[in-house]
Amino acid sequence: MNINLRDVTEENWIKCISLTTNTDGSNTVFEEFVASNAASIAQSKIQDGWITKAIYDEDTIVGFTMYGYAFEDEIYEICRLMIDYKYQQRGYGTQALLKVIDEMKSWNDCNEIFLSFEPENKVAKKLYEKLGFIDTYKIVDGEILYKLVLL
């Protein structure tokens, strides 16, 4: 496994928006636990602070992430992390999340990283806790808010 994050570009955006967590392979604007990649890319174009990246294993696109500074809440946040249904349960989510965290750690004033997820998403909860995220005991728009304190 050789996970790398790449910009969403003219060459890969169609593949990126075709990724889905829907187990039937269908593309929808809102999936079970995450907004579609198309909706996320659109959001990043109208709200400042977001970085969008395609997640690759070597040269195969396997997922998508969006992270950055949430100006509205004045926090650093991982807003989206998804692995296509065909590539789940292979460790890609863990490796991609570690890459995003490493990048965010390098930002001068990033001391905490926040993320939120649907309470029913037990897989996400397990992943985030494994990597050191802790429950803030806050609910935001129906999602559980976690944070990672950077040392």
Q: What is the reported pLDDT for 7?
A: 97
- Among 84, 77, 85, 87, residue whose Cα is nearest residue 128: 77
Q: How far is CA 67 from CA 24, 79, 86, 101, in A?
A: 27, 5, 23, 10
Q: What is the reported pLDDT for 79?
A: 95
Query: What is 3-149's CATH number?
Result: 3.40.630.30
Q: What is the reported pLDDT for 30?
A: 73
- Which residue stretches of the chain have pLDDT < 70? none
State the pTM of this model: 0.92
